[in-house]
Structures are given as structure tokens and as C-alpha cells.
Amino acid sequence: MYPFFLLGQKRSLKRQIKVEVFTIANEHQINEQIRDKSIRVISDEGEQLGIMSAREAMDIAEERGLDLVKISPNAQPPVCKIMDYGKFRFEQSKKQKEAKKNQHIITIKEVRLSTNIDRHDLDVKAKSVSKFLKAGDKVKVSLRFRGRQMTHTDMGREVMEDFFSMVKDDAVMEKSAKLEGRSMFMILAPKN
């Protein structure tokens, strides 16, 4: 019937179809899935048709060539609307895509410093952090203490404050320098 190497693909396709049907069914109950004794019905124009049985509402929907969709299942009695369900789902997916398109994702970049960093290296890192901030990204500035450096955390705090003074034209300190274990962190956000 099917070559042996296509059997797995056929099975996975069936699983995908089942999953898709299952997710649609979870979104809204439509037509025969509505089993309530009485429901409040709203027509496709938006006018209330009143409270009736699900069978009567199904008959009205079939006459108009539309679907009966349960909009508010928790209401007493549940609210159902007569509409074209395919068009409704298309409009909702379109709205979701628009909302996704308008989202701005903020990424967090990280810059590592050390307690005995040279002035030139600090300048180079400050320039790169300024570029990140101008691009709209947040920056996590971290400083790791090694060995005996843990006894001189005040030096690390000075390096962090010095670094912030270099980028303060482009940055706002979202979280000030804080010691956690053997590392000190500071989070900078772009200025608006």
C-alpha cells in the first residue's frame, strides 16, 4: 500500500490533524458540541434572539447557513452566537499576528568586567554598551571576584560606578550593583 519509509510520515500527519482538531475544539464549542438545555442566542447581526434550546438555535443557524458558537460558556445561561466560524477564526488569527508583529522584544546583552581592568578596556566596553543601549537592548554588567579579590568588593563597586558614569548619557540604572555570591551585577536600561 505505502512504501515502508512513508509509513512514519503518514502516522505523524494523522497525529498533527488530531492535535489541530483537538485545539479547535478546546477554543470554542460549535454546533453539535453544544449540549446545554437552554442557551442565550445572539444573531449574526448582533441582536438578541432570546433564550431557547440548543436544537432550536442549531435549526436557525442551519437555515442561515452559519454555525452556532458558544461565546461565553460560564454565563447563566451560556451565550451562543450565530456566525461563520471559519471567518471568525481567520479574523482572530489575523489579530494575533498583528499583535505579535507590533511586539518589541527586548534582549539582554551581557558585559563582563574585572576588578583590575585597564582604563582603555573600560572605554572599549563602554562604547559597545552604548551601542547596545542605543539599539534598545538592556545590558547586564557583571563583575566576577576570583580568589582573594572577595575581600576587596569595594574595588569592584568602584569599577561598576566608574563604568556607569561612562555610559550614563545613554543609560538608566534599572538595578544597582548588587553582590550575589562571587559576582556583582548591575542592569542598565536604555534612556527614553
pLDDT at residue 1 tops 60: no
Predicted confidence (pLDDT) at residue 56 exceeds the cutoff of 50: yes
The pLDDT tens digits for 3-41 are 555 555 555 445 544 444 444 445 777 887 888 888 888
* pLDDT bracket for residue 59 (50, 70, 90): confident
Instruction: Put residue 31 in one of left, alpha, beta given phi > 0 → left and psi -120 to 50 → alpha.
Output: left
User: Mean pLDDT over residues 130-150, rounded?
Assistant: 89
User: What is the architecture, at CATH level 2, of domain 25-90?
Assistant: Roll (3.10)
The CATH number given to 108-190 is 3.30.110.10
**Straight-line distance from the first to the last Cα atom of the chain, in angstroms, rounded to the nearest whole number:** 65
pLDDT value of residue 125: 92
In DSSP terms, 173 is beta-bridged to 188
Q: Which residue has the higher pLDDT, 5 or 170?
A: 170
- Is residue 156 within 8 A of residue 149, CB to CB? The reply is yes
pTM: 0.48
Query: What's residue 22's pLDDT?
Result: 43
Domain ranges of the chain: 25-90, 108-190
Cis peptide before 3 (omega within 30 of 0): no
* Higher pLDDT, residue 22 or 87: 87
Contact 34, 70 (CB under 8 A): yes
Query: Between residues 174 and 27, which one has the greater pLDDT?
Result: 174
* Strand 183-190 with 138-144, pairing: antiparallel
Task: Give 142-166 pLDDT, tens digit per residue.
Answer: 999 888 888 888 888 899 999 999 9
Q: pLDDT class for 141, splitting at 50, 70, 90?
A: very high
Q: How far is CA 154 from the centre of its chain?
A: 39
DSSP state at residue 30: B
